[in-house]
Copies of this chain bind each other. A is one copy, B any other.
Amino acid sequence: MKRTMFFLDQKDMPTKWYNILPDLPVALPEDLHPATGKPVTPDDLAPLFPMELIMQEFSPERYIEIPEEVQDILLTWRPTVLHRAYKLEKALDTPAKIFYKYEGTSPAGSHKLNTAVPQAYYNKKEGVKRISTETGAGQWGSALSIACSFFDIECKVYMVKVSFNGKPYRRIMMETYGATCVASPSMDTKAGREMLAKDPNCNGSLGLAISEAVEDAVSRDDTHYALGSVLNHVLLHQTIIGEETIQQMEMAGEYPDILVGCVGGGSNFAGLFIPWLRDKISGKKPNTRVICVEPTATPTLTKGPYAYDYGDVAGLTPLLKMYTLGHDFMPPPVHAGGLRYHGMAPIVSHLYNLGIIEAQAVPQLSTFEAGVLFARTEGILSAPESTHAIKVAIDEAVKCRESGESKNILICLSGHGHFDLSSYDAYLQGKLSDLEFPEDKMKEALDKLPKVG
């Protein structure tokens, strides 16, 4: 029998998150206060987040215990399965061994629930009754809605209008779990009203939806804000993915030579690769390659500068040192909605800047081609975000065929594509094209980068 799935027993689910901050060879640049330009303090963040999450954001501790109540909920779908992609390998006629960690079996359909649950938990513990957030493609909004339903917290989601209209199923899903979901820009916030006054037909952007959700939270006493990617504590919660794969690759008797994942804000892939970086940074496995994959239409790591910028359009968030296309850059409408963000997690940006991890940009059509091949061999219909990772994994496997090398490739497959079938339809009907990156628009946006230091 060829073992295609590696199940980790529930008793072996990791009970600690791994915090890379103390192990970074160079300290992570500090976040700055948007008004003063001084390093952000825990108190600055208190209107937005519960104190335990804030402390995680700055924590010097290498390991942070996962609270038992959080573990109990994670056990609803975790540990997730590590798969060996025999059928894809055969179709590619490659000597490479391809593994994929599949996060699509969570009730939310993606990795996002890994952080939504602890975020809801710490808010509940601090007595918070209501959480506001934004969502692009809807993955994060769904995850937070589910987490809030588990902890009986009210949830308000600002959903980028183009997705709100194009993906009604995601909206319904959030409502099924009891959340309220509005199209952003909305009339519910000043940021939204101002944008609608300027452009009543504005399709919205993730940066603007973040402005609305943050404004909602700071303007109400009973409400906190939650973010689904980018921040240190979010990446921390996702390290459970990588910690599980370390045990599962051991079950498979293999060590990965190449890790590959898609990056929008960076959280799914960082969740996978950060635990593996211990061996790379310590020098035990210096040659492990970590490849971040982004769309050529939103090439944050491969074309943006490494600079301080806001996380949102209105400039309400702290200034983060990151690769950025400019906070008011409007990304082209690539179908991988989760990858349409102007910035990148500071930790991912820092690691890339240090040369510890790599990045590649791939055009949209090639990712759908990879996704269809994956569906027809491995069966799983992946999210358009995840197909970016599949595309590069296939490229690497083909290189192995050509060189005769048998490398081990580990993919982070962040979610399923059940709510993205209209994109597959457009691809199959030949109606999809590769989108140009508007370099001039980026330059305009970069001119507006905040002056720092």
Query: CB within 8 Å of B: which residues of A?
Result: 1-5, 7, 9-11, 71-72, 75-77, 83, 87, 105-109, 146, 149-150, 168-169, 172-173, 175-178, 372, 375-381, 416, 418-419, 421-422, 424-425, 428
Contact = CB atoms under 8 A, between A and B. Distances in A.
B10 A5 contact: yes
Given A3-B10, A11-B1, A168 B425 contact: yes
Contacts of A10: 1, 3-5, 7
Copies of this chain in its oligomeric complex:
2
B72 A177 contact: no
B421 A176 contact: yes
Given A2-B75, A169-B422, A172-B424, 14 more contacts: A4-B10, A5-B75, A77-B379, A106-B379, A107-B375, A107-B379, A107-B380, A168-B422, A168-B425, A172-B425, A173-B381, A176-B372, A176-B424, A177-B375
Contacts of A105: 105
A163 to B, nearest CB: 15
Nearest to A71: B1
Nearest to A117: B379
A150 B86 CA distance: 12
Contact of A379 (B150, B175, B376, B419): B150
A87 B73 CA distance: 9
Contacts of A178: 376
Contact of A76 (B176, B378, B418): B378
**Most B CB within 10 A of own CB, among A1, A11, A108:** A1
Contacts of A416: 418
A331 to B, nearest CB: 25
Contacts of A150: 87, 376-377, 379
B77 A418 contact: no
Given A177-B376, A380-B107, A418-B109, A172 B428 contact: yes
B72 A176 contact: no
A190 to B, nearest CB: 30
A418 B108 CA distance: 10
A420 to B, nearest CB: 9
A9 B7 contact: yes
A149 B376 contact: yes
Contact of A172 (B107, B108, B421): B421
A176 B372 CA distance: 6
Given A76-B4, A76-B87, A428 B176 contact: yes
Given A105-B105, A419-B418, A421-B169, A146 B76 contact: no
A2 B380 contact: no
A379 B424 CA distance: 27
